[in-house]
Amino acid sequence: MDHENIKKEALFNEVKGSLFEYLVASGLAKDSGLELEFQRSLDANYLTVLSQQDRLIRQYYPEMQSFLRDCAAISQKALKELIPSDLSRIQLTGKLSNSPLARTWAEADLILEGEKSSLPISLKLNKRNSYVNTKSGGVKSFFSTYFPFATGGIQEAFNQKVDLEFEAMAHELHQLFDLPYGGDFKLWVREGYSELPGEIGEEGRKVLKAYYARLARLMQKNFEQIQLSNPDALRDALAQVMGFGSRELIQLVCFHDFKGNASVQSSVHQYSDLEKNLRGLRLLPFSETASVDWEVGDWRLQIRIKPMNKFTTTAIKINCSVKFS
C-alpha cells in the first residue's frame, strides 16, 4: 500500500464512524418529522467537528460521501420496525453531542425517545466478514472490571504473572540482540533499537508473539476457573463484554465492502438473540495464539491480547470482538 493510500485509509477509519452515526440519526429524524428538534439538540462543538470531517472527505475521499449515505439509508430501513410508535425525540450520545443520556446508556450511540420509554441503539460500521469490536480494557484491570464476582484474587494473580512474563520476554529479547538486561529497556533504547514490533526483525517478532500467546493462555486458565465456579454470572458478564450492558440495547451492525462490489447489509441484534446464543456457550481449546475464543451459539467471541504501539511496557489492552453468523 503506497503512502497516499495509507493516508486515505487512516482518514476513512477516523471519520467514518461519527459521520455514519450522524447520518443515521438525521435520516431517522427527517423521516419522523423531528429534523428541526434534532438539529437544535446538537452541541456546537460537535457540529464543528462534523463540518471539518465533511470537508476532509470532500477533499481527499469524495467517494466516501455516497458510500456513507447508502450505509445510513440501509441501516434506517433495518431499524424501521423497532422505532417507537410514539417517537418524540432523537438524540446522539457521542462525547460532543451534549446528551444527558450518554451516562445512562454508555454503550449507545443513538437514543430514540418515546413518551413512555427510550430505545438505546449501538451503531457500528464494519468490514464484511470481520469481527465487530465491542469492548476493551487494560490487561491489569480487565477481570476486575468485567468479572468482579470471580473468586480467588484472579486479577491480582494475573497481574503478577503478566509482570513475570514481561520480564521473561525482555530477557529473551536482550539475549537475542546480545545486550545485557538491567531490568528495563533503557539500554535497548540508548543503543538505538526500535520499540516497535514491526522493526525488530522476524526473530524478535517471534519472541513477542510467544509472549502474547503466554498471556492469552493465562486468560484461558482464568476463564476455565470462572466457568467452573460461577457459570451463570459468567454468561451475564460475557453479555456485557459482547456489547450488551443493558437488556434494552439494540445493536445495529452495518457490514460493508467499501473496496469491493458486495452490497451493504445491516443486521440488528437484540438481547433476546444473545440470550439464545449464550445457551450454547463453549470455551474453545486454546489455539496457541494471542486470543481466547468462545463459541456463543451461532456467534463467536474473541478476547484478544492487543499490544500497544511499543512493546517495551506492560500497558497492554485486551480487546473483545464478535463475529456473527
Task: Quickly list DSSP for 30-91.
Answer: HHTT-HHHHHHHS-HHHHHHHHHHHHHHHHH-THHHHHHHHHHHHHHHHHGGGS-TT--EEE
In this prediction, residue 308 has a pLDDT band, given cuts at 50, 70 and 90, of: confident
Do 187 and 312 belong together in one domain? Answer: yes
Mean predicted confidence (pLDDT) in 273-302: 96
What confidence score (pLDDT) does residue 232 get?
Answer: 95
Do 28 and 82 belong together in one domain? Answer: yes
Number of domains in the chain: 2
Is 267 among the domain residues? Answer: no
pTM for the predicted model, two decimal places: 0.89
CA proximity to 179, closest of 310, 313, 312, 309: 312
In this prediction, residue 107 has a pLDDT band, given cuts at 50, 70 and 90, of: confident
Is 224 among the domain residues? Answer: yes
Is 220 among the domain residues? Answer: yes
- What's the alpha-carbon Rg for the chain, to the nearest Å? 22
Q: What percentage of residues in the chain have a pLDDT greater than 70? A: 92
- The answer to whether 256 touches 126, Cβ cutoff 8 Å, is yes
In this prediction, residue 106 has a pLDDT band, given cuts at 50, 70 and 90, of: low
Do 287 and 146 belong together in one domain? Answer: yes
Separation of alpha carbons 132 and 321, rounded Å: 5
- The answer to whether 245 touches 320, Cβ cutoff 8 Å, is no
Task: Extract the runs of DSSP E, i.e. beta strands, from the chain.
Answer: 89-92, 110-113, 118-127, 132-138, 250-256, 265-269, 281-283, 291-296, 299-306, 317-323
- The answer to whether 320 touches 146, Cβ cutoff 8 Å, is no
Q: What percentage of residues in the chain have a pLDDT greater than 90? A: 73
Is 254 among the domain residues? Answer: no
Do 214 and 80 belong together in one domain? Answer: no
Residue at which a domain ends, from 127, 143, 165 = 127
Separation of alpha carbons 47 and 26, rounded Å: 13
Do 54 and 122 belong together in one domain? Answer: yes
Do 30 and 88 belong together in one domain? Answer: yes
Do 88 and 230 belong together in one domain? Answer: no
Is 191 among the domain residues? Answer: yes
Greatest distance between any 2 Cα atoms in the chain? 70
What domain range is 139 assigned to? 135-241+278-323
What confidence score (pLDDT) does residue 241 get?
Answer: 96
Separation of alpha carbons 169 and 309, rounded Å: 16
Separation of alpha carbons 62 and 55, rounded Å: 9
Do 173 and 190 belong together in one domain? Answer: yes
Do 303 and 235 belong together in one domain? Answer: yes
Do 310 and 180 belong together in one domain? Answer: yes
In this prediction, residue 274 has a pLDDT band, given cuts at 50, 70 and 90, of: very high
CA proximity to 32, closest of 94, 91, 85: 85
